[in-house]
Amino acid sequence: MTLTIPLVLLLAVVVALLLRSKAVGAGTAVAVVLFGFYLADTGAADTVTQIVTALTDALNDAGR
């Protein structure tokens, strides 16, 4: 059985854990989330998507 976790859900859990452990403040978390939204509207979004896809594919292949 294969378990698939959306990357956005995994990142949301990481942000929640960082907030809970007080490693980052709420303002920092909001700034990072807003940066992500604005980055998605730029021409860099396709490049970031390709890099993340390549990294997740490499991690997936390494686990086999």
Domain boundaries defined on the chain: 16-62
pLDDT in tens, 27-40: 998 888 888 888 88
- pLDDT-based confidence at 21, cuts 50/70/90? very high
C-alpha dist (Å) from residue 30 to 36, 50, 53: 10, 25, 25
pLDDT in tens, 48-62: 889 989 998 998 888
CB 15 within 8 A of CB 33: yes
Q: Which residue has the higher pLDDT, 56 or 2?
A: 56
Q: How open is the CA angle 42-45-49, to the nearest 5 degrees?
A: 180
The whole-model pTM stands at 0.64
